Structure 1
């Protein structure tokens, strides 16, 4: 069975999902596929209420900070909310994820980017930060950064955004189990576990 994870390193919930999904996938024998997107593009197209909430519902933002603190304690992940630059333009970081996927380095780079932004408060929109992240995973930044403005990677990232929206997504992290079974949020991982067990016990999927 395939489990797709649409994520953006600028999302703390994506960071949590990125750290938890691999163990769930390994436990269940799922093929975990990482799908980088630009969540701002998703919000702009189908979920602009997010911006209104940030500006006009301080109680919700206070709850988000409390909830992330709870998640940080529960998981042991350092999460600083809000980081010094919030929201951040993660376009170059997410294009780098796509580029590095072809070299087998997507997971290492995305994890490094999440940690840099959410644990250390580094501005992942800056090329100097991205260069340091590349070096930290053994990748020459000179083979990555000059390509990030290329139309190729813009198109590929936009295609992932459009695919997520077309399949019913409205934010990140979004999971798809076997193409059409959608789950939104890191807290839905138990539901994915239950769905896999139900499908296998019924003989529908092995």
Structure 2
């Protein structure tokens, strides 16, 4: 079966829309999903400092203004509400919530938790770095907040988040959301979902020998 890895960070509005579309895609097509929570700031610091600099000091202000419109155009197209910037301010420290995503991954609750986190930030403007926000998110998926907050302090969870982030960097990734089909075929950005769908459909149509399946 086609395997698709999804590298994501809940503090990105484009990732909110991309993951939303990706989950819709998973309802239409059969493929194996491996969720890879990351810290996108770590990726930027390592290989894409320009993204941070452009956010702080855009060299083409008109393009920056258009970018805000582009987000709203995509949100309308997808039927989502995306408030940029969120009421809590941006950027948001995503370390705790992304570690919590790993805990939820181990408990088979990651997609529901991640979508709730996206909505808390990008619809309600709640700061995902705050423990009371994480408490509500945990309760929303039926998990004990104290247990999860304790789990995210474990060295194993911290290391897995670093490893995911480093793995994306090592495979020439530079932001969130990023998908890999069968480890080597990379797609970046919310707007690449149609190309991702095409790649999955093509791979699903191939037999084990790499030839078009028949019958």
TM-score per shorter chain, which class?
over 0.9
Q: Distance in 2 between matches of 1:129 and 1:29?
A: 34
What TM-score does the superposition give when structure 1 sets the normalisation length? Answer: 0.94
- Could you tell me which residue of structure 2 aligns to residue 131 of structure 1? 135
| Stretch of structure 1 that moved more, 48-57 or 121-130 | 48-57
Indicate which of 57, 61, 67 corresponds to 2:64: 61
Cα shift at 1:45 = 0.5
Change (3 A) 1:199 1:133: closer
Structure 1 position 14 matched with structure 2 position 18: no
1:33 alignment partner, SS class: strand
- Could you tell me which residue of structure 1 aligns to residue 81 of structure 2? 78
- Could you tell me which residue of structure 1 aligns to residue 168 of structure 2? 164
Indicate which of 96, 108, 128 corresponds to 1:104: 108
| Stretch of structure 1 that moved more, 175-184 or 191-200 | 191-200
Q: Distance in 2 between matches of 1:42 and 1:138?
A: 31
Give a deviation string over 1:58-103, Cα, whole Å, max 9, x none: 3333122111111111111110001132000000000000011111
Do 1:53 and 1:60's aligned partners in 2 also have CA atoms closer than 8 Å? no
What TM-score does the superposition give when structure 2 sets the normalisation length? Answer: 0.90
Cα shift at 1:26 = 3.2
Change (3 A) 1:60 1:154: farther
| Stretch of structure 1 that moved more, 58-67 or 126-135 | 58-67
Give a deviation string over 1:103-144, Cα, whole Å, max 9, x none: 111111111100000011000011111001111121110110
Cα shift at 1:197 = 3.4
Do 1:38 and 1:94's aligned partners in 2 also have CA atoms closer than 8 Å? yes
| Superposition RMSD in Å | 1.5
Task: Could you tell me which runs of 5 or more consecutive residues in structure 2 were left unpaired when the two chains were aligned.
Answer: none
Superposed counterparts of 1:1-206, under 5 Å: 1-57=2-58, 58-84=61-87, 85-201=89-205, 203=207, 204=210
1:88 alignment partner, SS class: coil
